[in-house]
Amino acid sequence: MKIFEAAKAPIQWEERNVTAIKGPGGRWMIPPEAKESMNKNKIGLKGPLKTPIAAGHPSMNLLLRKTFDLYANVRPCVSIEGYKTPYTDVDLVTIRENTEGEYSGIEHLIVDGVVQSIKLITEEASRRIAEYAFEYARNNQRTSVTAVHKANIMRMSDGLFLRKCREVAENYKDVKFTEMYLDTVCLNMVQDPSHFDVLVMPNLYGDILSDLCAGLIGGLGVTPSGNIGANGVAIFESVHGTAPDIAGKDLANPTALLLSAVMMLRHMGLHGYAKKIETACFDTIRDEKVLTKDLGGNAKCSEFTADICRRVQDMD
Amino acid sequence: MILRIIKILKLYIQTVTLIPGDGIGPEISTAVMKIFEAAKAPIQWEERNVTAIKGPGGRWMIPPEAKESMNKNKIGLKGPLKTPIAAGHPSMNLLLRKTFDLYANVRPCVSIEGYKTPYTDVDLVTIRENTEGEYSGIEHLIVDGVVQSIKLITEEASRRIAEYAFEYARNNQRTSVTAVHKANIMRMSDGLFLRKCREVAENYKDVKFTEMYLDTVCLNMVQDPSHFDVLVMPNLYGDILSDLCAGLIGGLGVTPSGNIGANGVAIFESVHGTAPDIAGKDLANPTALLLSAVMMLRHMGLHGYAKKIETACFDTIRDEKVLTKDLGGNAKCSEFTADICRRVQDMD
């Protein structure tokens, strides 16, 4: 919020809590005030939520996903100059179908010692995610969309997913469409990630690839993420944990949440402010003078933040 | 007298089934045989072809001579096979897997000095359950536009692969075995897999056992692969991770692979393609097949020969003077092979 203020971004914040409560009928739900706020504003920014172990209710992230039908998880992964990793030229986006696939949660004990888990792929969800991927590519001047799959093995399920991608590709001739096996993507990704642009895939593959790509640029502490839902709802979030050991000690690195907020600004069409804040953040990191501990320095969170604010103000 | 000595010596020479394969298969197989000869390894090769034929009853099968050879010798070395597009029969690799119940796919990935990748200290092994899981091939159209794919996990297959992983760790002086899973999401299937791993771990207290989510493994693997040792996992995860790890050390051209089956059968193979564009031109890189053959020697307990050949191979690559094109040089396959042979002979 401090950085946005320094940038004079035309945003005002409405804070809400999403701790699960039990609604009428005994079903767990997010608090009505949070739900109303999201439905009204459409755009949200979210920090890490703790995962309850024995709280009796499902994960909050799952509840949010179901409440707002957050069908697309989007992670742009760009190498950050100043934060060394074995790679310098990563610039790709993973777009993961987040409602079905291998995570349907449908499992059965067939006979003693034999379990089956069902992967569900539907035409509708596949079409929807493919459409989102191509729209994203077009709106963000990306060159190509690659469908990641294992249709050679899972002919019907991944085959259906692939078919919908091909159909949607027909309506986006300005964007190059390619297909690649998941194992080939992984093999090539760790040798030369610069070959990849926008990647679209079903749930499990997306889970894996989005984390693999986050690793390429330095991990969850610097990776932005956005969840696109139905009815224009979009929630941007940092995907790292709550780090209880350093909470409240002014040691945290706000980069992931900040870059997610930048992603949010772009989604809202506020490209100028997005560029300004992102540049300030990258400049601070590249300079390597004021870095939080996880980035290799020993600055406080407030000092890191202040450095970015200063740069943002200097740009005006 | 001389005949008796020869007969005794022959007892120590083991016969291995060699399947050269297609494309560059024959030339890299020749390279391996040359190097083994230079090393005086006690191996004799029995070449067999595995092009699918139709058996009685119309079912596709591997030729009986190939099957007999494998069942007799137990150990096999295989080059790349071409995947038939419209041949009407299933992939040969699938046929081999079913014929010999090749339940474990094992890939040791070690960074190769002289072949630069973003990583220098990779030394891990992926052990993939290769018979069930997501690759059961059971799919249904539920209603129009809704398809389901079934992932099958059984207690037996999970126990078997876990046992193999711990045995491998023990026999190869590895420190730990990590079960890779998504049991937080797939509670019953991956949960069962994990449970069997934990049970088997109880019988191998000398090996450290840990568990890690697949996405966390990927996230950490590309940041610091040196933390990983032996990894065991179900089919799909193994497919992904084994290729990811091959990428870390430079790709399929330098990665060895072994398939362990029931009844003591084991087939070691290079996992790259047939490279038809360079086949027959003396340009191929035999490293993957050679390192798979080295893996085979270790499996057979012939550690001295394995070390000798592996060292010669790594020395040639480290020296960077005689390298095939894919390794960044411009030497022929035969020159690369000759260099390794020379080093092997110099070691005696």
Q: Tell me which chain A residue has its CA closest to the CA of residue B139.
A: A156
Nearest by CB to residue A107, choosing from B189, B216, B222, is B189
Question: Could you list the pLDDT tens digit for every one of the 316 residues in chain A?
Answer: 999 999 999 999 999 998 888 888 888 888 999 999 999 999 999 999 887 665 666 678 888 999 999 999 999 999 999 899 999 999 999 999 999 999 988 999 999 999 999 999 999 999 999 999 999 999 999 999 999 999 999 999 999 999 999 999 999 999 999 999 999 999 999 999 999 999 999 999 999 999 999 999 999 999 999 999 999 999 999 999 999 999 999 999 999 999 999 999 999 999 999 999 999 999 999 999 999 999 999 999 999 999 999 999 999 7
Residue B2 lies in a domain: no
Q: Which of B265, B237, B210 is nearest to B129 (CA)?
A: B237
Residue B140 is predicted with a pLDDT of: 96
B185 plus B85 within the same structural domain: no
Q: A-chain residues within 8 Å CB-CB of B119?
A: 86
User: Is B139–A153 a contact, with Cβ atoms under 8 angstroms apart?
Assistant: no
Same domain, B230 and B124: yes
Nearest residue on chain B to A111, alpha-carbon basis:
B154
Is the same domain home to B132 and B152?
yes
Q: At a CB cut-off of 8 Å and minimum separation 6, what does B49 contact?
A: B19, B63, B66
Tell which of B220, B249, B278 closes a domain. Answer: B249
Q: Which of A163, A187, A222 to mutate to test the interface with B (most CBs of B within 10 A)?
A: A187
Q: Looking at the domain assignment, is residue B335 inside a domain?
A: yes
A30 Cα to chain B: minimum distance (Å):
21
Same domain, B203 and B313: no
Q: What residues in A contact B191, CB-CB < 8 Å?
A: 115
Q: SS3 letters for chain A? A: CHHHHHCCCCCCCCCCCCCCEECCCCCEECCHHHHHHHHHHCEEEECCCCCCCCCCCCCHHHHHHHHHCEEEEEEEEECCCCCCCCCCCCEEEEEEECCCEEEEEEEEEEECCEEEEEEEEEHHHHHHHHHHHHHHHHHCCCCEEEEEECCCCCCCHHHHHHHHHHHHHCCCCCCEEEEEEHHHHHHHHCCCHHHCCEEEECHHHHHHHHHHHHHHHCCCCCCCCEEEEHHHCEEEECCCCCCCCCCCCCCCCCHHHHHHHHHHHHHCCCHHHHHHHHHHHHHHHHHCCCCEHHHCCCECHHHHHHHHHHHHHHCC
Q: Which parts of chain B sit beneath pLDDT 50? A: none
| Of B249, B268, B288, the domain-final residue | B249
CB contact under 8 A, B247 and A191: yes
Domain assignment present for residue B1? The answer is no
Strands A70-78 and A226-229: antiparallel
Dump pLDDT digits (tens) for B86-106. 666 677 888 899 999 999 999
ipTM field: 0.94
- Please indicate, yes or no, whether residues B135 and B228 belong to a single structural domain of this protein: yes
Q: For residues B136 and B72, state if they share a domain.
A: no
Residue B60 shares a structural domain with residue B138? no
Position B209 in a domain: yes
Same domain for B260 and B332, yes or no, is yes
Are B93 and B131 members of one domain?
Answer: no
B115 touches chain A (CB under 8 A): no
In a domain, B124, yes or no: yes
Which of these, B271, B221, B251, lies nearest to B105 by C-alpha position? Answer: B271
Please give the tally of structural domains in chain B.
2
Nearest to B215 among A120, A184, A207 (CB): A207
pLDDT of residue B334: 97
User: For residue B305, is it within any domain?
Assistant: yes
Q: Is A67 on the interface with B (CB under 8 A)?
A: no
Q: How far is B328 from chain A (nearest CA, A)?
A: 15
CATH number at residue B142: 3.40.718.10
Give the span between the Cα atoms of B251 and A216, in whole angstroms. 17
Q: What is the pLDDT of residues B228-255, one digit of tens each?
A: 999 999 999 999 999 999 999 999 999 9
Give tens-digit pLDDT for B280-327.
999 999 999 999 999 999 999 999 999 999 999 999 999 999 999 999
* pLDDT number for residue B9: 64
B:204-263 residues touching chain A, CB 8 A cutoff:
214-216, 218-223, 236, 239-244, 246-248, 250-252
- In a shared domain, residues B244 and B256: no
Query: Does residue B244 sit in the same domain as residue B145?
Result: yes
Note whether residue B7 is domain-resident.
no
B79 is a domain residue = yes
Q: Name the residue in chain A with its Cα closest to that of B150.
A: A118
* Residue range of the domain that includes B204: 118-249
Residue where a domain stops, chosen among B249, B273, B289: B249
Considering the domain architecture, whether residues B50 and B68 belong to the same structural domain is answered as yes
